[in-house]
């Protein structure tokens, strides 16, 4: 039962345009988001480890903080069991293959309170992912 095997097929490899479209310069959604903008962390990092390593790291993390895990294709979703300020905190990680041996992982808040998410990122997520990061995780810089 290869549940933690996420075979990244050649056909699923991202091409340059997929990568380019990750730019926040293309993302016009800030025009429409609520006025009171909470600084939302979006973690993006690259890794040369296989997707299965990324997934098992996330699963281990989930276990240690008692979050549930749901996997589908190239996504992993972690959800807290307790309701926080704005419901259960849920996080989604999406794994992109830039080349078969070079992955980019994007982690976003899927539901729940942004402040709780930011805390989770700095206290739990970043430390857990530190040793598989190929580069230091890029943060969306908070504006001055």
Partner 1 sequence: MGCFHSKGSKQYPVFEDPVALASQTTFSVSEVEALFELYKSISSSVIDDGLINKEEFQLAIFKNGKKENLFANRIFDMFDVKRKGFIDFGDFVRSLSVFHPNAPAEEKIDFSFKLYDLDSTGFIERQEVKQMLLALLWESEMKLTDETIEIILDKTFSEADTNQDGKIDKIDWQTYVTRNPSLLKVMTLPYLRDITTTFPSFVFNSKVDEVAT
Of 39-47, 64-72, 77-85, 109-117, the window that binds partner 1 (rule: CB under 8 A) is: 39-47
Of 29-37, 59-67, 74-82, 109-117, the window that binds partner 1 (rule: CB under 8 A) is: 29-37
Q: Which of 1, 2, 25, 73 binds partner 1 (CB under 8 A)?
A: 25
Nearer to partner 1, 2 or 25 (CB): 25
Residue 72 touching partner 1 (CB under 8 A)? no
Please answer whether residues 61 and 124 qualify as being in contact, where contact means their C-beta atoms are separated by less than 8 angstroms: yes
Tokens 């598989």 correspond to 132
Nearer to partner 1, 40 or 84 (CB): 40
3-state class (DSSP) for residue 122: helix
How crowded is residue 3: how many other Cβ atoms within 10 Å of its Cβ?
11
Residue 132 touching partner 1 (CB under 8 A)? no
Q: What is the dihedral of CA 104, 98, 25, 90, to 10 degrees?
A: -30
- Reading the block at residue 57, the tokens are 């790291």
Query: Cβ of residue 42: shortest distance to partner 1, in angstroms?
Result: 10
How crowded is residue 52: how many other Cβ atoms within 10 Å of its Cβ?
15
Q: According to CB under 8 A, which residues from 42 to 71 bind partner 1?
A: 44-46
- Residues 70, 89: Cα–Cα separation, whole Å: 14
The footprint of partner 1 (CB under 8 A) covers: 13-33, 37, 44-46, 98-99, 102, 104, 135-136, 138, 143-144
């Amino acid at each position: 039962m290869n549940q933690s095997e996420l075979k990244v097929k050649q056909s699923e490899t991202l091409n340059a345009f997929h990568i380019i479209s990750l730019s926040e310069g293309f993302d016009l959604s800030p025009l429409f988001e609520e006025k009171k903008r909470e600084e939302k962390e979006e973690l993006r990092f690259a890794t040369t480890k296989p997707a299965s390593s990324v997934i098992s790291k996330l699963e281990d993390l989930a276990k240690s903080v008692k979050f549930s895990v749901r996997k589908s294709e190239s996504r992993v979703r972690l959800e807290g069991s307790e309701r926080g300020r704005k419901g259960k905190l849920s996080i989604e990680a999406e794994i992109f293959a830039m080349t078969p041996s070079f992955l980019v992982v994007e982690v976003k808040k899927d539901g729940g309170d942004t402040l709780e998410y930011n805390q989770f990122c700095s206290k739990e997520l970043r430390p857990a992912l530190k040793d598989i990061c190929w580069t230091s995780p890029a943060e969306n810089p908070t504006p001055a």
